[in-house]
Amino acid sequence: MFTLLFTLFLLGVCYSVSYIFSTHNTKNNLSVVLIGIVMISIFFALELAYITITALFIIFLFVVTLSFTTENTQQIFLNISTSGILAFVLFTCSRYGYYFKSQHFLQLKELEERNEEIQNLNHQKGEILGFVAHDLRNPLNNIEALSALILTEENHPDATEVQLILNSAQHAKHIINDLIEVVQEKKTALKVQEVELIGFLRGIQNTWLTNTDRTRIIIFNTDQNTVSANINPSKFTRVIDNLIGNGIKFSPPNTPINIEVCTKPEKVQIRISDFGIGIPDTLKHLLFDQFSKAGRVGLNGEKSMGLGLHISKDIIEQHHGTLTVESQENKGTTFIISIPLAST
C-alpha cells in the first residue's frame, strides 16, 4: 500500500509541476509527467491492481484539471485522449518492467536453491570421504607397522619386497591424510602456541637427514639466534615436510635443499629452496589449486594428486601468513613462507 501511495504522490507532483510550467495548459504539460511515468516503470514493480489504479489516477488528474480551464470541445477531447495514452504508456511499461523483474527474481531464487543443493551435496560428499579415509587409514597403519617390524630382522630374504610394501603403504597413507585434510579444512579453528622456530626447524631438518638417503644434503641457514611465532606445530610441520619433500622429488641426488630463516618488520620469512627442474611459467598460476593440474611426476616416478601445495597454502593462510613461489626452469624453485612474529 505504501508503494501505491508513493507512486500516486510522485505522479501528482510531476503533474502539478508540469501544469504550472505549462501556464495551466493541460495539453502542454506532458514532459514532466512522462518523466514520472518512466521513473515509476523503472524503479517500481507494481502488481496489476496497483498499476491499474495508477493509470486511472492519471486520467483523473487530466479530467479534474479540465474543470478549472475553459477549453473547447475539441481540446477537451484531445486532453482526455492524451490522458488515456499516458495511462496506457504507464500500464504497458510497468507491466513489462514487472515481468522482467519477476523473471530476474525467479532466476535468482532458482540459483539460490541450486547453490544450496550443491552445498548440501558437497557436505555429504565430504562426510562420506572422511569416513572412507578414516576406515582405510587403520589397515594401512597395520601394514606399515608389520612391514617395519619385518625389516628390523637382519638379512630377511624378502627385505626388498617388504620395503616396497612399506613405501606403498606410506604413500597411500599420505594420500589419505591429504584427503582428510581437504575434507576438514577450515571446519575448526586453528589452535596455535608460541614456538621458537629456529630449534623447531632444526628438529625437522634432523628428522629428514635421518630418514633420507645420505646423498641428500639439507642445509639450514639463519642469522637469527631465536625467532618465535604462534603456530600449530603439527600442521606447520606438515607444510615444511611437504615443501622439503617436493624439493627432493624434483631435484637430482647430491643437490642440496636449503632452509633459510630471516626476519622482516613484524614477520618471519622461511625460504625452502632446491636446485631441481623448476616450474614452467604456464603452471605457476595452477600450483596452489585443489587437485591441481600442475601436479607432475617426480624424477624417480613419484606420483602427485595435486593436493599438497593447496593444503600447505591453506594452513599458512590459517596462520595469517602467505605462501608464494619463485622458480626458473632447470634452475630450481624457492617456496617462501611469511607469517607474523609472536608479539612480545
Strongest mean pLDDT among 39-43, 179-183, 240-244: 240-244
pTM for the full model? Answer: 0.58
- Give the distance, in angstroms, between the CA of residue 43 and the centroid of all CA atoms in the same chain: 33
- What percentage of the chain reaches a pLDDT higher than 70? 65
Q: What is the mean pLDDT of the chain?
A: 78
Closest CA to 72 of 29, 17, 27: 27
**Crossing angle between the packed helical segments 73-151 and 31-43, to the nearest 10 degrees:** 30
Instruction: For residues 106-113, give the mean pLDDT.
Output: 88
143: pLDDT strictly greater than 60: yes
Q: Quick: pLDDT tens for 192-211.
A: 999 999 999 999 999 888 87
69: pLDDT strictly greater than 90: no
Q: State residue 16's pLDDT score.
A: 66
Q: Which CATH class is domain 193-340?
A: alpha beta
Q: How far apart are CA 272 and CA 168, in angstroms?
A: 26
The better pLDDT of the pair 47, 309 is held by 309
The better pLDDT of the pair 106, 88 is held by 106
Residue spans of the domains in the chain: they are 1-184, 193-340
305: pLDDT strictly greater than 70: no
Q: Quick: pLDDT tens for 224-255.
A: 888 999 999 988 998 999 999 889 988 988 89
270: pLDDT strictly greater than 80: yes
Instruction: For residues 292-309, give the mean pLDDT.
Output: 70
126: pLDDT strictly greater than 80: no
Band of pLDDT at residue 68, cut at 50, 70 and 90? low
Q: State residue 103's pLDDT score.
A: 81
The better pLDDT of the pair 23, 138 is held by 138
Q: State residue 17's pLDDT score.
A: 60
**CB proximity list for 220: less than 8 A, separation 6 or greater:** 201, 202, 205, 259, 260, 261
The better pLDDT of the pair 69, 189 is held by 189
The better pLDDT of the pair 122, 36 is held by 122
Lowest mean pLDDT among 28-32, 183-187, 230-234, 235-239: 28-32
Instruction: For residues 270-274, give the mean pLDDT.
Output: 96
Q: State residue 70's pLDDT score.
A: 53
The better pLDDT of the pair 81, 32 is held by 81
Determine how many CB atoms are found less than 10 A away from the CB of residue 190: 14
* Segments in 185-293 forming alpha helices (H): 197-211, 233-249, 281-284
Strand bridging mode 256-264 / 228-231: unpaired
Lowest mean pLDDT among 43-47, 83-87, 327-331: 43-47
Closest CA to 260 of 251, 249, 247: 247
42: pLDDT strictly greater than 70: no
184: pLDDT strictly greater than 80: no
Q: How far apart are CA 292 and CA 314, in angstroms?
A: 14
